[in-house]
Amino acid sequence: MLLTTSCTAALEMSAILLDLQPGETVIVPSFTFVSSALAFTREGARILFCDIEPETLGPDPRHLAELLDDTVRAVVVVHYAGVACDMAGIREVLRDRPDVAVVEDNAHGLFGRWRDQPLGSLGRFATLSFHETKNIVCGEGGALVLNNPEDVDRAWVVYDKGTDRRAFFLGQVDKYSWRDTGSSFGLADTLAAYLLGQLEQRETIQAKRRAVYEGYLEALSPRADELGLRLPVVPEDCEPAYHLFHVILPSHETRTRVMGELREEGISTVFHYVPLHDSVAGQRFAARTPECPVTSDLSSRLLRLPFHNNLSAGDIERVADSLMRSLERG
Ligand SMILES: Cc1ncc(COP(=O)(O)O)c(C=O)c1O
**Cβ of 74 less than 6 Å from ligand 1:** no
pLDDT of residue 330: 79
The answer to whether residues 244 and 273 belong to one domain is: yes
Determine the pLDDT at residue 184. Answer: 98
* Closest CA to ligand 1's atom 16: 33
State which residues form the domain around 228. Answer: 202-329
Indicate if 87 and 133 belong to the same structural domain. yes
Domain boundary among 200, 218, 247: 200
Q: Report pLDDT digits (tens) over 266-290.
A: 999 999 999 999 999 999 999 999 8
At which of 165, 182, 200 does a domain end?
200
Over the chain (330 residues), the average pLDDT of each successive run of 10 is 98 98 97 98 98 98 98 98 98 98 98 98 98 98 98 98 97 97 98 98 98 98 98 97 98 98 98 96 96 98 98 98 95
Q: What is the CATH number of the domain that holds 307?
A: 3.90.1150.10
* Residue 64 sits in the same domain as residue 32: yes
What is the distance in A from the centroid of ligand 1 to the CA of 202? 20
CA 55 – ligand 1 centroid, Å: 21
Residues 210, 187 within the same domain? no
One domain, residues 81 and 178: yes
The pLDDT of residue 56 is 98
Q: Of 200, 218, 250, which marks where a domain is finished?
A: 200
Give the span between the Cα atoms of 252 and 233, in whole angstroms: 20
Q: Tell whether 248 and 258 lie within a shared domain.
A: yes
Cβ of residue 311 lying under 6 Å from some atom of ligand 1 = no
One domain, residues 122 and 153:
yes
Ligand 1 lined by 244 (C-beta under 6 Å)? no
For the chain, how many structural domains are there in total? 2
User: How remote is the CA of residue 171 from the centroid of ligand 1, in Å?
Assistant: 36
Ligand 1 binding pocket includes 10 (Cβ within 6 Å) = no
Whether residue 38 has its Cβ less than 6 Å from ligand 1: no
Instruction: Please tell me whether residues 165 and 188 are part of one structural domain.
Output: yes
CA distances from 202 to 42, 133, 135 (A): 34, 15, 9
